[in-house]
Structure 1
Amino acid sequence: MTDADVRLVDMTLRDGMHAVDHQFTPEEMAEVAAALDAAEMDVVEVSHGDGMGGSSINYGFAAADTEEYLDAVVPELTDTELSVLLLPGIGTVEELDTAVDHGADICRIATHVTEADVSEDHFEYVKDRGLEANGLLMLSHMAEPERILKEAKLMEEYGADAVYLMDSAGALLPNDVRDRISLLVDELSIDVGFHAHNNLGLGIGNTLAALEEGAVTTDGCLRGLGAGSGNAQIEVLVGVLEKAGYDINPDFFGVMDAAEDVLVPMIDEDEMPKLDNDSLMLGYAGVYSSFLRHTRRAGKKYGIDPREILVELGEMEVVGGQEDLITDVASRLAEERDAGPAAEAASDDD
């Protein structure tokens, strides 16, 4: 852990993969990692957007495999720590071993907010391999603070060095963040972190609320790259934290340059995160941010407004791993739409 007030984790090469359909090349990852290292970023996370092992037909195939990405990034990191993401049921022991062999410092183990009990073996293995182990509770808007505390205590019991509250849908309001983070800080003996999405335009504001309640580690992406409307924009976050008087390690100009001079030339304009109607609905309906691109594709295929699909998915309380339901919902809505005129015509004939 850093001696600064806040440890900043850059997710451009992990959560940012969602924005580019997981198509960063190893060479592009190396360029971004080198720029972040030069800017003295505390931690850089490298994985498929859905974690190690996520490259698949269900989540989207990446441009390269985990080992190729790590081969490219590791030589570019000097003082910056390397993190990888593991979702139980997606990532495998073999991929974790590969990350360890490449010098990963941190493994973040992510579960749905009410399913921390599936992670015990994963924490044990990560700790046995000598890595820092952080627990991530995803879709944290879907549980009350007391239930989140129960799940966080399980991760603490399993050996977590920190527990993160993940606003995976960008659905939390500042008071929701405060209620959850303050309870975790008061009741846990380990560090508490926060991961924001910007689907309601609250990425930076919610991050500040979390830090004010005692969180000491937080995430962001260059240019806010990420699923949905993206993550908290990390160059903005660095500037805001400096203005707020926090002691942080990353160099403000260096992080700005990494975004402007290195990342932006790699990204098509339509891949840049923006708060449009569809992504706003993610936060409003409480749907996992990585569902956005899949929903847009299904909407186009079936001629259904993506917002209608997202409302249905929100009412179903879908979670990560249920991406197959997107097509099911879109198909059903199209059938109901097409059946409407036919039913009306039949009624008129009667």
Structure 2
Amino acid sequence: MNTAHKPRLSICDTTLRDGNHAVAHQLAHTDIRAYAKAAELAGADVVEVGHGNGLGASSIQVGLAALSDAEMLNAAKAELRRARLGVLSIPGFASVERHLKPALDCGADEVRVGAHCTEADVTRQQITMLRAMEVTVKGMLLMSHMASAEKLLEQAKLMQAYGAHAVILMDSAGAYTPADVHEKVSTLAENLDIEIGFHAHNNLGLSVMNSLTAIKAGATIIDVTARGFGAGAGNTPLELLAANLHVEEIGSEIQLFEALDAADLAEERFVKHVPTNDSITIASGIAGVFSGFAAPVRSASERFQVDPRKILLELGRRRVVAGQEDTIIEVAMSLAAGDQMQADPM
């Protein structure tokens, strides 16, 4: 991208989408309205809303949401004036007719179409259709730690060719180091003609540093959540990013005190447990396993009496990704059987 015309920093607040993971997708109508209003006042450019896995994802397999997509979107839209309403669409969960078009009818201003970092081709239909409809559409490469900078560039170029206005690298497992961020973000920023974004998770305690590194490497879109509210160890906290943007004098629409207020409101209303790092989320980051696996791994660990860290490391060895939740049970059962054989040798 021509740095002489680099856009200003844009902040996407995903509290009401990624944060939904942290409460098993049970955010209430009143919570959504209250936080959307707070995010608007805080200066968020985009407020992303929905089930943690995006449009059409409410299911027994990945979690039934308390509200329908339309109910969530309508609740947030009622409170937004300047901020844009965003949604996530992952082909496989979301279809054009059943989910995308109804979301647009609810007032969604932009769509991020996500795919595993090596499977950008599955986003072609949705990106091209949305671009033809003159809807702002951005590509999102999930689990991007699993691919090299060169591979990510290849996949991002596909999304750019389909018509995406931007490509966001998602650190779904919280596995990135600042060196990884700099290499991959700068590679995309230097070789694409569209904007680059970064979505961090905090499994290794690096979400804020990684987000700042992404900005310095050329990213112009950064994702946040209030109090880091999100899957596993959570995301880049809105309030901490706001503080660092203030200290480093990095320009954005974010208002410091209002961002602090939004985070306080979220904790008072629906952040039951402020995300923190424990042995499971740290092991998840080391293993490079999707942050949303933390809860089902804990459940499987208790059910089969297996160390959850062993489950995560095996999932990482198998390179399991979101959508393969059934593998967690398989791995836990296999490890339990192995432990039993060691305990009771023939």
1:110-189 correspondence runs (5 A): 110-189=114-193
TM superposition shift of 1:129: 2.9
- Contact 2:117–2:146 (CA under 8 A) maintained in structure 1: yes
Structure-2 separation of matches of 1:186 and 1:10? 26
Cα deviation digits, residues 84-116 of structure 1 (max 9, x gap): 000011112221111111111110001000000
- Greater Rg over alpha carbons, structure: 1
Could you tell me the TM-score, scaled by structure 2's length? 0.96
TM superposition shift of 1:331: 1.0
**What letter corresponds to residue 94 of structure 2 in structure 1?**
G
**Which deviates the most, 15-24 or 331-340?**
331-340
2:219 corresponds to 1:202: no
Partner of 2:42: 39
Structure 2 residue ranges without an equivalent (≥5): 1-5
1:1-350 correspondence runs (5 A): 5-93=8-96, 94-260=98-264, 262-267=265-270, 269=272, 271-342=273-344, 344=345, 346=346
**What letter corresponds to residue 127 of structure 1 in structure 2?**
R
TM superposition shift of 1:282: 1.1
Q: Helix, strand or coil for the counterpart of 2:291?
A: coil
TM superposition shift of 1:11: 0.6
Structure-2 separation of matches of 1:40 and 1:284? 34
Could you tell me the TM-score, scaled by structure 1's length? 0.95
Structure-2 separation of matches of 1:99 and 1:246? 33
Q: Helix, strand or coil for the counterpart of 1:182?
A: helix
TM superposition shift of 1:4: 6.8
**What letter corresponds to residue 182 of structure 2 in structure 1?**
R
Structure 1 residue ranges without an equivalent (≥5): none
Aligned length: 340
Q: Helix, strand or coil for the counterpart of 2:78?
A: helix
Structure-1 separation of matches of 2:154 and 2:260? 39
Structure-2 separation of matches of 1:297 and 1:60? 14
Structure 1 moving runs of 4+ over 4 Å: none
Structure-1 separation of matches of 2:343 and 2:295? 30
